[in-house]
Amino acid sequence: MLYACLLPDFVSMPLNPGFPSEPLPEPPSGPTGESFFILDSDGPKSVQTAAPSAVQPLFGLSIEQLSELMAGLGEQNFRARQLAQALYRDRTPDLDTITTLPLALREKLAAAAYAVGLPPILQTFRSIDGTERYLIGASGNQTVETVWMPDGDGAEDNDDEADTSPVRKRATICVSSQIGCAVNCQFCLTAKLGIERNLTAGEIVGQVVALLRRHQVELGRDRINLVFMGMGEPFLNYNAFMDAVRLLVDEVGLPPSRMTVSTSGIVPGIERFAKETVRPRLAISLNASNNTVREAVMPITRKWPIEAVIEAARSMPLGPREKITFEYVLLGGVNDSLIHADEVVTLARRAGFPSKVNLIVWNPGPGIPYHQPKGEDVARFQQRLIARGVPAFIRRPRGRDIYAACGQLKKTTEANS
Ligand code: SAH
Ligand code: SF4
């Protein structure tokens, strides 16, 4: 509560101090110039996707779009399927090596300024715990962050799937949806960047495919989970995020039941998401047990209070054993008492849908004025939830030494020294 009085008033400020105060220029027209809207207290603002470039990436195109492209080039439709196979399943990095396509077609594509466009891994940081953080190239000389966590961090555990089949390799990929973020959560390092831009569907899928390629993943033998918990708020880049999900399911071959999207509570996004027939699981970043504390740590609560977020989630039809996850970042002395735990229990019960709580010990970042909770308080919090019938798990912090943990993604080009 102490923090509440130190924080700026959400109503009088944009969602993020880094958010441009001047209106952004009109987005350019063309295939990569789609604009999206950020909803904030000052009304919608448009955020651009990648600037159009001379080279057209094939990566990110759906099978329908590839079919249109083939038709436009006077090619037969089965070529679109071959191209999709090369891009998304074989992870072929350039046109020259797509040998399933005749040379003449590859030349035609190159002459029309098409390239594969699989994003390159520019830098890799490896943690002592095996976690790897990557800076991946995005258009306009920008980079995006993606994290590979061998064995995951517990966030993705599908506790409803008792699957004991032998698996060669298990990992969780933490995917970014935007460069920076417009939601000004006070405990999050990504928030410090402000929003730079939305990622395209190709740039979102590209992060995943680049990592599958690097780690020579064999889907079917290896167990890969995806969490959309990297940089950005997926529901403020809804169309590209969902286009990416469809590509990941239909073309890359990852099941939606192994994907989780986390939102800070963008109500219109949750309502839309609830109507999707193929979708990842939902995680809501609750992070506080009542609106007063939540407004202090997540000013977006003034726009969409906890009850509105839960009401929107309630409209989502759940699978037979599906649960909605509440993520709860424990901030020492702010939201980690037993009173807070009891309020979380009340919220979870009132929600009425099957849920579980993932407790995340706050990861510190430079210039962020919070404290880590004490170990015993974390354990007490978890035990209280469990004792009162709310499943609760503690997420293992991963890759803290390389700024790869939750809320630490800030395009850092150094390891944590
Ligand atoms: N923008 C989305 C997804 C990315 S953040 C969201 O907020 O849900 C992913 C998770 O990291 C969220 O649950 C968020 O609350 C948590 N997080 C952010 N900063 C953190 C920090 N410094 N330490 C621990 N968790 C953090
Ligand atoms: Fe954005 Fe999520 Fe960080 Fe909040 S916690 S600033 S929504 S990335």
Rounded to the nearest angstrom, the distance between the alpha carbon of 87 and the centre of ligand 2 is: 31
Q: Which residues contact 159 (CB under 8 A, 6 or more apart)?
A: 323, 356, 391
**145 noted as active-site residue:** yes
Does the beta carbon of 264 sit less than 6 angstroms from any atom of ligand 1?
yes
Triad 9, 10, 14: Cα angle to 5° = 120
Strand 281-285, strand 170-174: pairing: unpaired
- Give the predicted TM-score (pTM) of the model: 0.86
Based on the residue annotation, tell me whether 156 is a catalytic residue of this protein.
no
The predicted structure's pLDDT at residue 396: 77
Residue 414 is predicted with a pLDDT of 52
Helical pair 201-214 and 238-247, crossing angle rounded to 10 deg: 40
Write the DSSP string, 13-70: S-S-TTS-SSPPPPPPPSTT--EEEE--TT--EEEE-SPP-SSEE-TT--HHHHHHHH
Task: Using the mean position of ligand 2's atoms as its centre, give its distance from the Cα of residue 137 in Å.
Answer: 21
Identify whether the C-beta of residue 206 lies closer than 8 Å to the C-beta of residue 136. yes
User: Can you list the residues of the chain whose pLDDT is less than 70?
Assistant: 1-53, 152-167, 402-417
Burial class (CB in 10 A: 0-12, 13-18, 19+), 302: middle
Q: If 0-12 CB within 10 Å is exposed, 13-18 middle and 19+ buried, where does residue 153 land?
A: buried
pLDDT at 260: 98
229 lines ligand 1 (CB under 6 A): yes
Q: 370-388: per-residue pLDDT in tens?
A: 999 999 999 999 999 999 9
Q: Are 50 and 27 in contact (CB under 8 A)?
A: no
- Note whether 341 and 333 are within 8 A (CB): no
The token pair at 104 is 């003449």
- Rounded CA-CA distance 392/402 in Å is 27
- Please report which ligand is nearest the Cα atom of 327: 1
pLDDT value at position 177? 98
- Choosing from 183, 186, 301, 327 the residue with most ligand 2 atoms within 8 A of its CB, the one to mutate for a pocket test is 183
191 ligand 2 Cβ < 6 A: yes
Distances (CA, A) of 362 to 334, 365, 405, 407: 11, 9, 9, 8
- Tell me the pLDDT tens digit for each residue of 188-227: 999 998 999 999 999 999 999 999 999 999 998 999 999 9
- Residue whose Cα lies nearest atom 25 of ligand 1: it is 406
* Token digits of residue 360: 């995340």
Pocket flag, ligand 2, residue 264 (CB < 6 Å): yes
Cβ neighbours of residue 5 closer than 8 Å, sequence gap 6 or more = none
In short, whether 194's Cβ falls inside 6 Å of ligand 1 is no
The alpha carbon of 181 and the centre of ligand 2 are apart by a number of angstroms equal to 6
Whole-number pLDDT of residue 6: 23
Of 241, 83, 91, which Cα lies nearest the Cα of 176? Answer: 241
Mutate to test the pocket of ligand 2, among 39, 145, 190 (most ligand atoms within 8 A of CB): 190
**Nearest-atom index, ligand 1, CA of 263:** 8
- Contact of 355 with 328, CB cutoff 8 Å: no
Residue with tokens 């604009």: 35
Distance CA 326, CA 310 (A): 10
